[in-house]
A and B are shown apart, each in its own frame.
Chain A
Amino acid sequence: GAGVSQSPSNKVTEKGKDVELRCDPISGHTALYWYRQSLGQGLEFLIYFQGNSAPDKSGLPSDRFSAERTGGSVSTLTIQRTQQEDSAVYLCASSDVTGTAPAPGYNEQFFGPGTRLTVL
């Protein structure tokens, strides 16, 4: 595709409900990242997928959060039993980790438009 896409763009849910957020990365990008951004804050790393390797889940804030990436492409971030503090914008990014210009290992991240999650 032309860029990273995410759905839904907005999600309003009630406390205690489960939500699923979807990310479609740029075709051919082997690396996929999930971040969370609260209002006026920087990006908080959540999870990182790279090819067929085990994902780096070190940023997931609790066991209510999980993510999977099927077929090395589409990823789904699931939040179970949502809490009000989960309200934030959830951003997905993908990158091509092969070394390209301007330096070996260069791998700019391309971000999706994000999903704004509101937990009432």
Chain B
Amino acid sequence: GQNIDQPTEMTATEGAIVQINCTYQTSGFNGLFWYQQHAGEAPTFLSYNVLDGLEEKGRFSSFLSRSKGYSYLLLKELQMKDSASYLCAVRDFRFNKFYFGSGTKLNVKP
């Protein structure tokens, strides 16, 4: 089965850096995805990691360690509009299914 854990909620200050962690236990791993979801809206894709290491995309970076079953999403220069839920999802290559964590609600305060 799949077991994906993320913190439920985090608070950070505008302009700061925040790291959202995700741990997973899965067989058949084939990629880890991060999605952003604003309240009342559909999730939108942020990043994808399938190999170990850091993927940087503007203010957002995502890291993966397959041996540790661990990923994090790093958000720099936080803006108020970054207040949203961040969903970690793991893809199982055997079934091409995605398993989502419960999401981390990020509150950015002035």
Interface residues, chain A, with chain B CB atoms under 8 Å away: 31, 33, 35, 40-45, 48, 50, 56, 91, 97, 102-103, 105-114
Contact = CB atoms under 8 A, between A and B. Distances in A.
A40 B96 CA distance: 25
B57 to A, nearest CB: 11
A50 B96 CA distance: 9
B56 to A, nearest CB: 12
B80 interface: no
Contacts of A108: 33, 45, 48
A112 B37 CA distance: 12
Contacts of A48: 95-97
B65 interface: no
8 contacts: A41-B102, A42-B100, A56-B95, A103-B51, A105-B50, A106-B48, A107-B96, A109-B33
Nearest to B87: A42
A109 B103 contact: no
Contact of A42 (B41, B42, B96, B101): B101
Interface in B3-52: 30-31, 33, 41-45, 48, 50-51
A115 to B, nearest CB: 11
Contacts of B93: 105
B103 A42 contact: yes
B45 A97 contact: no
B48 A113 contact: no
A114 B42 CA distance: 7
Contact of A103 (B42, B50, B96): B50
Contacts of B33: 108-109
B16 to A, nearest CB: 24
A43 B41 contact: no
